[in-house]
């Protein structure tokens, strides 16, 4: 299966939140389908774990030229997935579609993934002692369906598919918007953002000037985690260097010791 992408086009979005509603409906249906919960309970139960996609509204600019930006809090399904790299129980996997998924049964609730994610995506559920996040509807994708959020969008502001297919549509929209608005647009995440996260499975079309307003960092990073990963990868080299240094020091000490003993013997004679 080829890597799958979702694109969110902020220009075509009408802020109807149908994507959020459809996400919640799909996750409730999963409770009925996968966990044998009564359908009535799954539909009516209040549970924050059912909401993988939530809107966050920000105001930016200066009075009287104030604008609103609606950012959706969601998993970006990073190419390099720092949450997966740091997970001590291997509870996070990347599927062939590019979906980064937390295995609820294996998760130990350590919250390392929360420390690693530069987008503050994973959430912790105290009741179950597990973390949770968007699963990219990997079960739907692998059965030839679109993600629930994409399926619920009435304007085509969200679309998904194979990488090449989505990339071609994204480039068309960028060209069209730049010609209409006469300003630069970007497709955040389509290309590699940085070495820490790589490219993203969730691409955002947005005016370049609004990147900060939409809380899309140019260099997403968690220095503590990066240092930990560096130490982990460098450990064999550092240990080897320490052994060599210790051996060298011992040889140096031994040669000095021999000289001292030899000199003492001469003095005694």
CATH topology of domain 4-221: Alpha-Beta Plaits (3.30.70)
Looking at the chain, the whole-number percentage of residues with pLDDT higher than 70 is: 78
Looking at the chain, the whole-number percentage of residues with pLDDT higher than 90 is: 57
Question: What number is the average pLDDT over the span 108-118?
Answer: 95
- Whether a cis peptide bond, with omega within 30° of 0, leads into 145 is no
Q: Where are the domains of the chain?
A: 4-221
Residue of higher predicted confidence among 34 and 120 = 120
Check whether 32 has a pLDDT greater than 80. no
pLDDT of residue 266: 55
pLDDT of residue 133: 95
User: Which pairs count as long-range contacts for 100-109, CB under 8 Å and 24+ apart, including other chains?
Assistant: 100/75, 100/136, 100/201, 101/135, 101/136, 101/138, 102/130, 102/131, 102/132, 102/133, 102/135, 104/128, 104/130, 104/132, 107/131
How far is it between the farthest Cα atoms of the chain?
102
Phi, psi of 265 (to 5 degrees): -65, -40
Question: What number is the average pLDDT over the span 77-102?
Answer: 96
Check whether 241 has a pLDDT greater than 80. no
Convert the pLDDT of each residue in 169-217 to its tens digit.
999 999 999 999 999 999 999 999 999 999 999 999 999 999 988 889 9
């Amino acid at each position: 299966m080829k890597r799958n992408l979702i694109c969110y086009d902020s220009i075509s979005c009408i802020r109807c939140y149908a994507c959020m509603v459809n996400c919640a409906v799909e996750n409730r249906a999963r409770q009925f389908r996968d966990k044998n919960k009564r359908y009535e309970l799954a539909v009516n139960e209040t549970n924050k774990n059912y909401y993988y996609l939530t809107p966050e509204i920000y105001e930016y600019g200066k009075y009287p030229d104030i604008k609103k930006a609606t950012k959706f809090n969601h998993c970006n399904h990073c190419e390099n997935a720092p949450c997966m790299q740091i997970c001590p129980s291997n509870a996070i996997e990347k599927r062939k579609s590019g979906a980064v998924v937390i295995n609820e049964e294996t998760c130990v609730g350590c919250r390392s993934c929360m420390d690693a994610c530069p987008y503050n995506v994973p959430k912790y559920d105290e009741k179950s002692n597990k973390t949770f996040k968007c699963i990219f509807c990997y079960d739907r994708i692998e059965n030839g369906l679109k993600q629930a959020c994409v399926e619920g969008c009435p304007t085509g502001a969200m679309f998904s598919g194979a990488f090449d297919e989505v990339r071609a549509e994204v480039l068309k929209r960028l060209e069209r918007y730049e010609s209409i608005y006469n300003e630069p647009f970007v497709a955040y995440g389509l290309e590699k953002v940085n070495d820490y996260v790589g490219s993203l499975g969730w691409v955002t079309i947005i005016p370049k000037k609004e990147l900060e307003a939409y809380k899309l960092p140019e260099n997403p990073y968690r220095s503590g985690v990066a240092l930990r990963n560096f130490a982990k990868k460098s450990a064999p080299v550092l240990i080897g260097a320490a052994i060599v240094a210790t051996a060298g020091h011992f040889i140096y000490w031994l040669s000095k010791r021999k000289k001292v003993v030899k000199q003492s013997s001469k003095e005694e004679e």
